[in-house]
Chain A
């Protein structure tokens, strides 16, 4: 078989170049990216595990200085945003509800923005309470407390950075979907949604690890 004939056979193949195969490829690509991100955050989670097993009392004291109310509020906001983007994708794939896609994507981006604003308010309060690691750290006499807050700021700021990228991406798709741009196709919205859900999953684990350590004491 000549090279031209092989190429013609492949082009005619029902699994090549169809919307299904493109969607499957895009989905797989995002899952591979998510795998790399799991390992990226995994190193930080391991550092946390090491600190918590070596200085449990220090981590407990430090965790009680975080704002559990705002942390819980932010968790609820992020879970709601995940539900909103999942529904946006369902609407994009169901023609009679397609007009809801842009609205739900806007809601998702807005909830993500509210999350970042609340996180900023938390950082501001923690800065004023001298909980930022450094020479004026308020809990310096408690072993492990400074390490906790170092990990707290690194993990939450990296998460917020990922979320900010997600807000920008979802915002672009909301705009494109509202104007019926062909590039805002359901298969691309699905990839964006996978990323958003992954950022949500990271927060699901950060919430009990950072905000809920020995709250009863």
Chain B
């Protein structure tokens, strides 16, 4: 890395750091607004932007070779597969009280399931 590259990279790191802190405060501020589902969407969208910045700038994914980029993208693909296939089962399954459930929660759960 020569002097010019070092100076440019340092400036990029500084801006990324300041942007990440600003996004963190934006995420905190948005949580105190009444946005309904928008709160969760805003929180996760800001987190995704922050994670993208860390990956591309701090982890240098933007300048990495094809193999590394392929592995990084593949990890997100595997995660989507894990979430999607698990969701087919768990998100469509009725909630049944488990014997391990704390006793104080059982009556409410049974009432919700049976309407009694």
Contact = CB atoms under 8 A, between A and B. Distances in A.
Does A associate with B in a complex? yes
A86 interface: yes
Contacts, number: 153
Nearest to B2: A94
Nearest to B76: A38
Given A80-B17, A212-B27, A204 B71 contact: no
Contact of A46 (B9, B71, B83): B83
Given A197-B58, A197-B59, A46 B82 contact: yes
Interface string B47-61: 100110011011100
B78 A205 contact: no
Nearest to A208: B43
Contacts of B47: 204-205, 207-208
Contacts of A213: 31, 39-40
B53 to A, nearest CB: 9
A204 B58 contact: no
A53 B93 CA distance: 12
Contacts of A76: 21, 24
B16 A83 contact: yes
Interface of B is mostly: helix
B50 A97 contact: no
B104 interface: yes
Given A28-B71, A200-B54, A87 B10 contact: yes
Interface centre among A28, A32, A90, A146 (most CB of B within 10 A): A90
A139 B102 CA distance: 11
Interface of B: 1-3, 5-6, 9-10, 13-14, 16-17, 20-21, 24-25, 27-28, 31-34, 39-40, 43-44, 46-47, 50-51, 54-55, 57-59, 64-65, 67-68, 71-72, 74-76, 78-79, 82-83, 86-87, 90-91, 95, 102, 104-105, 108-109
